[in-house]
């Protein structure tokens, strides 16, 4: 995935395969290919996540967990990593698949 580093946030927001209006030229996360992908519900997660940015980009998604590796090395992997699966977006374009906070 191609993500943009964001100094103003602390989470990963990534476009997923069930995104209703994501550009097909982007690399969408295939939620069906992961046996550990789980949508979080209940408690703090019983709501839709929406994030807007100064450039007009708007992202809507839901909290999920999955096992994640941030580089191609087993030592960079974490299990049940919490992030936002973006299923509606405006403004990401065709060269960006998501945003990751620092």
pLDDT computed for residue 69 by the predictor: 81
- Compute the distance between CA of residue 39 and CA of residue 88 in angstroms, rounded to an integer: 16
Q: What is the pLDDT of residues 24-46, one digit of tens each?
A: 777 788 999 999 999 998 776 66
Looking at per-residue pLDDT, the higher value among 90 and 26 belongs to 90
The fold of 3-101 is Cathepsin D, subunit A; domain 1 (2.40.70)
Show the CA angle centred on residue 68, arms to residues 16 and 90, nearest 5°.
Answer: 25
pLDDT computed for residue 45 by the predictor: 65
**For the residues 46-66, what does the mean pLDDT come to?**
88
pLDDT of residue 70 exceeding 80, the answer is no
- Nearest Cα neighbor of 68 from 3, 9, 22, 8 is 3
């Amino acid at each position: 995935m191609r993500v943009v580093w964001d100094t103003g946030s602390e989470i990963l927001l990534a476009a997923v395969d069930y995104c209703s209006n994501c550009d097909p030229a982007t690399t969408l996360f295939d939620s069906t290919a992961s046996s550990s992908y789980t949508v979080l519900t209940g408690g703090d997660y019983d709501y839709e996540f929406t994030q807007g940015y100064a450039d007009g980009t708007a992202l809507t998604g839901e909290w999920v967990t999955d096992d994640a590796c941030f580089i191609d090395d087993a030592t960079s992997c974490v299990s049940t990593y919490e992030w936002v699966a973006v299923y509606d977006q405006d403004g990401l374009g065709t060269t960006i698949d998501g945003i990751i906070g620092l």
